[in-house]
Amino acid sequence: MYLVKSPLFYRWLFGNKLIWRIPVTEKTLFLTFDDGPVPETTPGIISILARYGIKATFFCVGENVKKHPSEFECLLSAGHAVGCHTFNHLKGWELLNNGLCGEC
């Protein structure tokens, strides 16, 4: 299992402006998607989630939101939560192949 906690410094810096923890009393699954929205996958995911009455959190790449605003609007209008997953997302494998990775 992969568990991640934000450094305490972030909690001090941003305080109550961000959600750090969601208290639950029963077993709960939080479904998340990263790197969208993109027209190749986002509409299909939204459709499947709607079919089963499921809400998810989409951690969006700002560059993709700028390129595909209608897909982003669909996420919001469907009632899904959104979060920021950076503005542009470098492709790690391309960095390795281009010698830009320090471990290459």
Spatial CB neighbours of 7, under 8 Å, sequence gap ≥ 6: none
ω into residue 39 within 30 of 0, thus cis? no
Tokens of 3: 């568990």
List, for residues 73-100, the tens digit of each pLDDT value. Answer: 999 999 999 988 877 766 666 655 555 5
State the pLDDT confidence band at 48, using cuts at 50, 70 and 90. very high
List, for residues 27-43, the tens digit of each pLDDT value. Answer: 988 899 988 899 999 99
Tokens of 101: 């990775």
How much is the mean pLDDT over the chain? 83
pLDDT at 37: 94
Spatial CB neighbours of 30, under 8 Å, sequence gap ≥ 6: 22, 57
Share of the chain above pLDDT 90, in %: 49
The answer to whether 46 touches 78, Cβ cutoff 8 Å, is: yes
* Class of domain 30-97 as given by CATH: alpha beta
3-state SS assignment for residue 40: coil
CA distance 37 to 11: 28
Domain extents in the chain: 30-97
